[in-house]
Amino acid sequence: MDMLPSAPAGSPMLESLPAAPLLTREFDSDPAGVYQRLRHTYGPVAPVALMGAPVWLVLGYAEVLEVLRNESVWRRDVRYWRARAQGTLPPDWPLLAGYEVRQTMFMDDEEHRGARQTHNTALAPFQNGQSPQGWELRAAVARYTDELVAALATESGPTGYADLCAQYSRPLLLMVTTKLFGFPDDLGDELVTDLWQMLDGGEEAGPATGRALAAMTRLAAHRRAEPGDDLPSHMLFADPGLSDEQLGRELFMNAVYLNDITNTMVLNTLLEVLLGNAAVRRSLSVGQLEETLNRAVLVNPPTANMPFRFAARDVRLGNFWIRAGDVVLPSAAGAHRELMAGDSAGIAQSVLSTRAHLGWGAGPHQCPGAARELGTMIVTTAVGRFFEHFDQAELASAPDQLPWRSGPMVRGLRHLPVYYELNQHSRARAQLPAAPASRGQDGTGGAGAVDGSAPGSRGRRGLFSTMRRMMPGGR
C-alpha cells in the first residue's frame, strides 16, 4: 500500500499561483531586497516566474538544506520535470539548453556516485600541493597572476584605471583552464562568452551551448588519441569507458565551474575587500584568506541560485504543497540572508560559523572535495597575490552602479573597475618608472582601513603593507 502523502485537494498548484517575474531590474541591483520581500509575502518557499516558466524559489536555510540533502525526494534528472515531459515548457525556453546536457550534475543515485568518483579521482593530483601536478599548477597560477599584473602595468601604466575582470580574473581563469584541460591552443574569450550566454539564459543560449559542447568533445577525442598529464586524460584513466561525447559533457560542466564560477568567486571576493567589508578585510590582513573567501561568499555566493531539483512525489515545503514533477530553485543567496540576519556580529556570537555558507552547495551534489580544494587554491592565490602588487586600489564606480550580470544563477560582475597604484617592487618587475606623487582621494567606495576606520589613503596603505607582511613569501 502506498503510504506516501499526496497534496490535499484544493491546495494551490504552482501554475495557478500569481507568480511575479524574478529577473527584473530591481533583482539585478538589489537581489537581497527581492528575496526579503518574497519571504515576507510567502514564507521560506515562494512561487516566481523564471523567463515565463513557474518555479518554486526556496529561500529558507533549513528548506534549502532539505532540498540539497534529501535526494530521494529532490531529484536531479530532468526527466522528472513535469512541464518538460508534458510539453508545456517551450523547447526554446532559454535555460533548457544547459539542462539538456546530461552530465554528473543531472544524474541520480548509483550513476551519479560513479560519475562523481571519476571527477574526484581525476582532480585529486591537481589539487594536492605535494603531487607533481598539484605543485606545478600552484606555481603556474601564481606565475599567471604576476604576468597579468605586469601586462596591466605595461598597458595602463604604474597608476591608472583597470577592469579587474577583463584584465585580471577572466584571463587568469582562461589560462588556468587552458593548462588544466591541456588545450592544444590558448582558449579564447569566445568560450567564456558562450558559457555566460548559457548560464544567464541569453538570446543565443542554445547555439552557445552547442559551440562550447562541441569544443569540449573535440578536446576529449584529441586527448584520447594523445593522452597528456591533464584533466581530460586523467578522467579517461579514471574511467576508460567514457565515450568522447560523455567526456565532452563532463568537461563542459567543469569548464563552467572552473572558468565562470571560479572567476566570479575571485571578483566577488576582491569586491568585498574594495567595498570595505570590515570583517572581510580583517581576515585578509591576518592572512586568513580562506576566511576572507568564506565571508565574501556569505554576502555574494557565486552560484546564488543552484541548479534545479524536481520533486519525486508530492511533498510539503514551507507553506506550500509541491507536486510531483514541480521544479524548485534552491537559493543559496536567499538562505544566506538568514545567516547574516542582524549584522556581522551575528556570526561572531552565533552557533553557526562562516563556513555554514552554501557557496559549495550541500548534500550528495555539493562541489566534490578535490574541486573545492582546487577552487579555493585558485581564488586565494588570485586574491592574495593581487594585493601584494598594489599600494592602492579603490573602486572606480559607485557601489550602486556596479555592472552586475543579469541571470537567475550567477551573481557576478561584468566588470570590476578600479583605480590603482602599483607598488615599487611590482613597478621594478614590470620595468616601469618609480612612483610619482600619490593620486588624489576622489574615488568612490574605496576600501577603508584594515582596523575598520574610515576609508582613506592612510588606511589603504595600512591594509596593503600589512597584507604584504602577512602574505606567504611577502616582502
Binding residues (CB under 6 A) for ligand HEM: these are: 68, 104-105, 116, 119, 254, 257-258, 261-262, 265, 302-303, 306-307, 359-361, 365-368, 371, 374-375, 379
CA distances (Å), 263 to each of 91, 362, 363, in order? 30, 21, 24
Least distance between ligand HEM and beta carbon 453 (Å)? 31
SS3 323: coil
| Other C-beta atoms lying within 10 Å of the C-beta of residue 347 | 19
Contact (Cβ atoms closer than 8 angstroms) between residue 412 and residue 267? yes
Q: Cβ of residue 347: shortest distance to ligand HEM, in angstroms?
A: 19
Closest CA to 462 of 271, 289, 282: 282
Minimum CB distance to ligand HEM, residue 121 (Å): 12
434: left (phi over 0), alpha (psi -120 to 50) or beta: beta
Beta carbon nearer to ligand HEM, 251 or 396: 251
Residue 271 or 379: the one with the smaller Cβ distance to ligand HEM is 379
Nearer to ligand HEM, 330 or 446 (CB): 330
Residue 317 DSSP SS3: strand
- Cβ proximity to ligand HEM: between 307 and 407 the closer is 307
CB 41, min distance to ligand HEM, A: 26
First vs last Cα of the chain: how many Å apart? 71
**Biggest distance spanned by C-alpha atoms of the chain:** 82
Cβ of residue 254: shortest distance to ligand HEM, in angstroms?
Answer: 4
Least distance (Å) from ligand HEM to the CB of residue 457?
Answer: 32
Neighbours of 275 (CB within 10 A): 19
| Residue whose beta carbon is closest to ligand HEM | 375
Q: List % helix, strand, coil for the chain (3-state, nearest 5).
A: 55, 10, 35
Tell me the Cα Rg of the chain. Answer: 23
Which lies closer to ligand HEM via its Cβ, residue 15 or residue 77? 77
Place of cell 552602479: 401
| Site of grid cell 548559457 | 198
Residue 299, exposed/middle/buried by CB under 10 A (0-12, 13-18, 19+)? buried
Closest to ligand HEM by CB, 22 or 107: 107
Nearer to ligand HEM among residue 306 and residue 356 (C-beta): 306
Select 150 or 322, whichever has its Cβ closest to ligand HEM: 322
Q: Look up residue 252 and give its DSSP letter.
A: H
Cα within 13 Å of Cα(475), Cβ side: 10
Q: If DSSP codes are grouped into helix, strand and coil, which group holds residue 455?
A: strand
CB of 336 closer than 8 Å to CB of 358: yes
Cβ distance to ligand HEM smaller for residue 300 or 466:
300
Q: Record the cell numbers describing residue 305, joined without a space.
A: 541560485
Question: Least distance in Å: CB of 350 to ligand HEM?
Answer: 22
Shortest Cβ 292–ligand HEM spacing (Å):
13
Question: Closest CB to ligand HEM among 182 and 443?
Answer: 182
Minimum distance, C-beta of residue 152 to ligand HEM, in the bound complex (Å)? 22
CB of 366 to ligand HEM, least distance (A): 5
454 SS3 class: coil
Closest CA to 333 of 111, 42, 60, 52: 60
Provide, rounded to whole angstroms, the least separation between the CB of residue 298 and ligand HEM: 12
Name the region of 431 (left: φ>0; alpha: ψ -120 to 50; beta: rest): left
CA 459/CA 461 separation, integer angstroms: 5
Q: Nearer to ligand HEM by C-beta: 153 or 306?
A: 306
